[in-house]
Amino acid sequence: EAGVAQSPRYKIIEKRQSVAFWCNPISGHATLYWYQQILGQGPKLLIQFQNNGVVDDSQLPKDRFSAERLKGVDSTLKIQPAKLEDSAVYLCASTFQGGNTIYFGEGSWLTVV
């Protein structure tokens, strides 16, 4: 069974530039999460989707971050404009509806300089 796929794996951008990360969850998983993990900290939820609807985006900095999951499968997370403090690993995760075992992707490492 294929795992959660993410791309790109690594990205270096200058502050005020934009970046987009893509995620394809495990087949059949209705629930998709985007987490931000800053070095030395635990993952922080940015947004949770159930199919193509948003369940929780209370911690998403909406002035600069956006996410979509238009067809209820893959998802894109965008940052525009990026700040230095956005340097982190962006983890996509998924689970089946009603499930409580989250499967994480390998992450997209962002460095903002």
Partner 1 sequence: QKEVEQNSGPLSVPEGAIASLNCTYSDRGSQSFFWYRQYSGKSPELIMSIYSNGDKEDGRFTAQLNKASQYVSLLIRDSQPSDSATYLCAVNESGGSYIPTFGRGTSLIVHP
Q: Which is nearer to partner 1, 27 or 41 (CB)?
A: 41
Q: How far is the CB of 35 from partner 1 (least distance, A)?
A: 8
- Measured from the CB atom, is 17 or 29 closer to partner 1? 29
Cβ of residue 90: shortest distance to partner 1, in angstroms? 11
- Comparison of 3 and 16: residue with beta carbon closer to partner 1: 3
Nearer to partner 1, 55 or 84 (CB): 55
The DSSP code for 86 is G
Token pair of 3 as six digits: 């795992």
CB neighbours of residue 8 within 10 Å: 12
Least distance to partner 1 from the beta carbon of 24, Å? Answer: 15
Structure tokens at 33: 């999460």
Interface residues toward partner 1, by CB under 8 A? 31, 33, 35, 40-45, 48, 50, 55-56, 91, 95, 98-102, 104-107
The dihedral region occupied by 72, where left means phi > 0, alpha psi between -120 and 50, and beta the remainder, is left
Q: Which two tokens stand for residue 54?
A: 């948003």
**Is the CB of residue 70 less than 8 Å from the CB of residue 91?**
no
Least spacing, CB of residue 94 vs partner 1, in Å: 11
Question: What are the φ and ψ backbone dihedral angles of 9, each rounded to 5 degrees?
Answer: -75, -35
